[in-house]
Amino acid sequence: MSNRDLVPVYDFVDGLVAAGVTDAVISPGSRSTPLTMVMARDGRLRTWSILDERSAAFFALGMARVRERAVVLVCTSGTAAANYLPAVIEAYYSEVPLVVVTADRPQELRGVGANQTVDQLKLYGSHVKGFVEMPVPVDTATLRQHARAMAVRMTVCATTPPRGPVHVNWPFREPLIPPRAMAAEDAHDLPAVVHPGRLVPAPEAVAWVLDTLRAAERPLVVAGPQQDRALAVRLRRWAAREGIPILADPLSQVRTVEGPGDAVIDTYDALLRSPRASSPPPDWILRIGATPVSKVLGQYLANARECQIAVSPAADWRDPWFTVHHVIQAEPLALLEALEQAASDAVRPQRQAWFHRWRDHNDRAREAIRLAIRSHDTDRMDLEGRLFLELADVLANDAVLMVGNSMPVRDLDTFFPTLDRRVRILANRGASGIDGVVSTAFGASAGEGGGGVWLVIGDVSLFHDLGALSLAKRLGLTLRILVVHNDGGGIFQFLPQASERDTFNHFRTPHGLDFRPIVEALGGTFHRAGTWAEFREKVGQAANAEGLVVVELRTDPEVNRNRHAAVMRAVQEAVLE
């Protein structure tokens, strides 16, 4: 073996670039040296260096989410590759394209006790869309063509809907230092150019959906988590024209795009707890996107029999209640375009009444929430969800809002209002882990277009990804974090575990951690907001700051639960009036 045998690595990188890859997230290590050196020297790829592979993978996930293109990950052999698994699983279920490239020992060093050698074949099991074991590189025309072809093929696999992660395992034999560049005679044909297709619905299916929804008296759209903003814009416009209310999960993007939001119902999580608001039942429901966050909405869908139409390009429509009745196989945007093309007649009177009833309930609920919050104690930090109302006023056009799992995403769902502004809302809802959330937000920061990134997160989740706070300084990134610090897992206050006091510390897990010195040690700015006035002041400062800014809200989970219940009651009363 000579260094020259590493030339196929150049071809691989050429293939990645040809397939549209722009960024590689690299963790340090020895076995991956050929990949690291070739990528770091390639002027066409931007490389990011992150020490902790778990963090690196979530960072790549966040970047791929906002870029809407595949991001490459590179690490050395052994447990380094194992640290990618949590983010790979999240990427698989949330359909985010990642090209994971793990360096490995050559085949002859496997299973015989060589150092740092583990079984990396199919390491991510059923959580990747594709896996390829590369040959140990040799400088032959065939292996160079193969390396180019695999780079293209695996990137296309990752970016073809449903998108997701792919795994390239690449064994390298020493020496590991690649030649500094390919020589002129190394020029070669470019790899295949792939022209992506589009899964459109069958014309009969479109006609049937049109007829069905036109005839419906009480139709609804339920928009679950999805990333396509063009789809969100169209959905708002089409539903308003057709007189169909959209129960819009905040992660559907439908609450936060430009254009009139007349059809958007954003208080269903409070409304559907009231029998008055949740009956009569809908007669047809068009479902777009993944499973909604709201448990209340989930229960509503579980009870909606023989009337649900899901749109999904593959066999993976999300329906944990087994109540979906029709599945339209198509990219959702393609179906929407087809529905929009069929110009609508005037909306029928019964339909008008249904639409305006939902609108009226939504307005009442929204007003009841505002009143309940304001009338109680204007400034006291007793309701965590209020931060989403406060924050909504501050977010700039094209801002990114990343929200942690467990309580923050639920409060987002309950409280975040509909805006006439483009805000991209992200959460790791593929597997709904509390791990890697800070890293994902930093990845979004590295990938976003200029509106700034805000992260709302609980203290347990922030603690879980503590090391990622170093990424601001390390990579020169800006991130504003609002941490709801109730010293442990506040969500358990809402669950039956709370009444079993003797074991409750295994769920609440109070840790007593003060984040301030850690944030400051990592070069960040830390503020603590004790009142909403302080919160507005600190958030205003954060909006104009660079680097890492953390604003902490100290809350009491028991007080929060009681206030939350009071606000929900106020909504129910408002609907009864």
| Cα–Cα distance, 398 to 257 (Å, whole number) | 9
CB of 448 to its own copies, least distance (A): 24
Among the listed residues 147, 209, 216, 460, the single contact to its own copies using CB under 8 A = 460
Interface with its own copies, residue 516, by CB under 8 A: yes
CB of 187 to its own copies, least distance (A): 23
CB of 118 to its own copies, least distance (A): 5
- Distance, CA of 364 to chain centre: 31
* Biggest distance spanned by C-alpha atoms of the chain: 82
Among the listed residues 156, 290, 338, 553, the single contact to its own copies using CB under 8 A = 290
SS3 assignment for 338-367: HHHHCCCCCCCHHHHHHHHHHHHHHHHHHH
CB of 338 to its own copies, least distance (A): 24
Instruction: Considering the complex, state which of residue 233 and residue 327 has its C-beta at the smaller distance from its own copies.
Output: 327
Q: Which of residues 291-320 bind its own copies (CB under 8 A)?
A: 291, 316-320
Interface with its own copies, residue 65, by CB under 8 A: no
How many CB atoms sit inside 10 A of residue 577's CB? 6
User: Given the rule CB under 8 A, which of 41-49, 235-243, 342-350, 372-380 is the region that contacts its own copies?
Assistant: 41-49
CB of 29 to its own copies, least distance (A): 8
3-state secondary structure at position 453: strand
Instruction: Considering the complex, state which of residue 449 and residue 517 has its C-beta at the smaller distance from its own copies.
Output: 517
| Cα–Cα distance, 523 to 25 (Å, whole number) | 22
One-letter amino acid for residue 386 of the chain: R
How many CB atoms sit inside 10 A of residue 162's CB? 16
Instruction: Name the β-bridge partners of 256.
Output: 419
Interface with its own copies, residue 78, by CB under 8 A: yes
Q: Write the binding mask 176 to 205 for its own copies: x where contact by CB under 8 A, - elsewhere.
A: xx----------------------------
Q: Is 437 exposed, middle or buried (0-12, 13-18, 19+ CB in 10 A)?
A: buried
CB of 60 to its own copies, least distance (A): 15
Interface with its own copies, residue 46, by CB under 8 A: no
Interface with its own copies, residue 524, by CB under 8 A: no
Among the listed residues 11, 52, 266, 448, the single contact to its own copies using CB under 8 A = 52
Interface with its own copies, residue 449, by CB under 8 A: no
Among the listed residues 8, 15, 86, 447, the single contact to its own copies using CB under 8 A = 86
Instruction: Considering the complex, state which of residue 240 and residue 519 has its C-beta at the smaller distance from its own copies.
Output: 519
Among the listed residues 276, 352, 505, 533, the single contact to its own copies using CB under 8 A = 505
Q: Report the residue count for the chain.
A: 577
CB of 499 to its own copies, least distance (A): 8
Instruction: Name the β-bridge partners of 46.
Output: 23
- Count interface residues toward its own copies (CB under 8 A): 91
Q: Is 92 exposed, middle or buried (0-12, 13-18, 19+ CB in 10 A)?
A: buried
SS3 assignment for 477-514: CCEEEEEEECCCCHHHHHCHHHHCHHHCHHHHCCCCCC
Q: Could you give the strand order of the β-sheet that contains 219-223, starting from the edge strand earlier in sequence?
A: 264-265, 246-248, 219-223, 284-288, 308-311, 324-328
| Cα–Cα distance, 8 to 182 (Å, whole number) | 10
CB of 320 to its own copies, least distance (A): 4
Instruction: Considering the complex, state which of residue 104 and residue 337 has its C-beta at the smaller distance from its own copies.
Output: 104
Instruction: Considering the complex, state which of residue 21 and residue 471 has its C-beta at the smaller distance from its own copies.
Output: 471
Residue 170 has phi, psi (to 5 degrees) of -125, 110
| Cα–Cα distance, 142 to 135 (Å, whole number) | 11
Among the listed residues 5, 23, 269, 435, the single contact to its own copies using CB under 8 A = 435
Q: Is 82 exposed, middle or buried (0-12, 13-18, 19+ CB in 10 A)?
A: middle
Instruction: Considering the complex, state which of residue 433 and residue 452 has its C-beta at the smaller distance from its own copies.
Output: 433
| Cα–Cα distance, 373 to 532 (Å, whole number) | 11
Among the listed residues 466, 543, 545, 566, the single contact to its own copies using CB under 8 A = 466
Q: Which of residues 114-153 bind its own copies (CB under 8 A)?
A: 114-119, 122-123, 125-127
| Cα–Cα distance, 548 to 525 (Å, whole number) | 6
* Residue 324, both tokens: 């979906």
Q: Which of residues 401-430 bind its own copies (CB under 8 A)?
A: 429
Interface with its own copies, residue 51, by CB under 8 A: yes
**What is the phi-psi region of residue 383: left when phi exceeds 0, alpha when psi lies from -120 to 50, beta otherwise?**
beta
Q: What are the strands, taking DSSP E only, across 228-329? A: 246-248, 264-265, 284-288, 308-311, 324-328
Q: Write the binding mask 470 to 489 for its own copies: x where contact by CB under 8 A, - elsewhere.
A: x--xx--------------x
* Residue 464, both tokens: 């879980």
Among the listed residues 1, 20, 22, 49, the single contact to its own copies using CB under 8 A = 49
Q: Which of residues 8-27 bind its own copies (CB under 8 A)?
A: 26
User: Given the rule CB under 8 A, which of 43-51, 368-376, 394-402, 568-576 is the region that contacts its own copies?
Assistant: 43-51
User: Given the rule CB under 8 A, which of 327-335, 449-457, 463-471, 565-573 is the region that contacts its own copies?
Assistant: 463-471
Among the listed residues 13, 33, 201, 443, the single contact to its own copies using CB under 8 A = 33
CB of 113 to its own copies, least distance (A): 3
Q: Do the Cβ atoms of 454 and 399 come closer than 8 Å?
A: yes
Among the listed residues 8, 436, 447, 557, the single contact to its own copies using CB under 8 A = 436
CB of 518 to its own copies, least distance (A): 5
Among the listed residues 467, 478, 534, 572, the single contact to its own copies using CB under 8 A = 467
CB of 473 to its own copies, least distance (A): 8
| Cα–Cα distance, 569 to 263 (Å, whole number) | 24
Instruction: Considering the complex, state which of residue 204 and residue 502 has its C-beta at the smaller distance from its own copies.
Output: 502
